[in-house]
Amino acid sequence: MAGRTTRTRLDPGVRRALILDAAERALADRLPSEVTFEEIADAAQVSRGLVYNYFKDRTGLLVALAARTLERLDREVLAALDPGTDLAAQLEALGRAYARYTRLNADTWRLIARSGLLDHPVVLAARADRVRRLAELWGGSPDARLAAWSVTALYEVAVLDPVPDQAGRDALARFVRDLIGPGLRDRGVGPVAGP
């Protein structure tokens, strides 16, 4: 038939990403309780039923947003860690990666914090996995695991609670490098040489 348009069926992963993008925009400066699935569906140009099919409820949507944000942070953090550099350089690079990523995704970070997702099992599992991978890069010892947990916790707190006295996040990265780095190195924590 002339004049008839055909719709292109989107891949489910692409459609899911479009819904998450729309939700992220809609939730940027608002509380989750203020945003409806209808609004998100309209912004994503999908039906409300499709949003429910993918995410079931508001918590499911928020958890999916948090998981995607944490996956992206992990890519940023791991890409920043040059295996050919020493621990001090890696500690500083880690801090700068956290600062850069969270500055560019500040709205989503605030959303994760204010929606009570910091202790959700998906968020806790993502954080534990990041700590495990970082500890493996630093030798995998009990001290390396504690170092990875401590340093990531410090950088995560700095994201949610601004660094005092306008010192800035780069100052925190240098502080960790200069003050904590030597102690970790003395305990045998540091980058593992490649094969």
Q: Residue 45: which CATH number?
A: 1.10.10.60
- 96 and 171 in a single domain? The answer is yes
Domain identity same for 87 and 169: yes
Give the model's pLDDT for residue 122.
92
Structural domain contains residue 164: yes
Is the same domain home to 89 and 180?
yes
pLDDT digits (tens, 9 = 90+) for 102-118: 888 888 888 887 888 88
Q: To the nearest whole number, what is the mean pLDDT of the chain?
A: 86
Residue with tokens 């008839």: 4
Whole-number pLDDT of residue 5: 47
Please check whether residue 138 lies inside any domain of the structure: yes
Q: 77 and 27 share a domain?
A: no
State the residue range of the domain holding 108.
Answer: 66-186
List the single range of 12-21, 46-55, 78-87, 186-195 with lowest mean pLDDT. Answer: 186-195
Q: Residue 61 falls within a domain, yes or no?
A: no
**What is the predicted pLDDT for the residue at 6?**
47
What's the Cα-to-Cα distance from 165 to each of 25, 98, 148, 169, rounded to whole Å?
31, 19, 26, 11
Alpha helices in 46-168 (DSSP H): 48-55, 58-80, 87-104, 106-114, 121-137, 142-160
Residue 162 pLDDT > 80, yes or no? no
Query: What pLDDT score does 112 carry?
Result: 82
Residues 89 and 170 reside in one and the same domain: yes
Instruction: Measure Cα distances from 64 to 6, 26, 60, 137, 141 in Å.
Output: 31, 15, 6, 27, 32
Specify the range with the lowest mean pLDDT, choosing from 3-7, 91-95, 115-119, 167-171.
3-7
Region 13-20: what's the mean pLDDT? 93
Angle made by CA atoms 152, 119, 101, in degrees to the nearest 5: 40
Q: Does residue 165 share a domain with residue 93?
A: yes
On the question of pLDDT at 155 being above 80, the answer is yes
Among 4-13, 64-73, 86-95, 157-166, which is the least confidently predicted range?
4-13
Q: Give the chain's domain count.
A: 2
With respect to residue 193, please indicate whether it lies within any of the assigned structural domains.
no
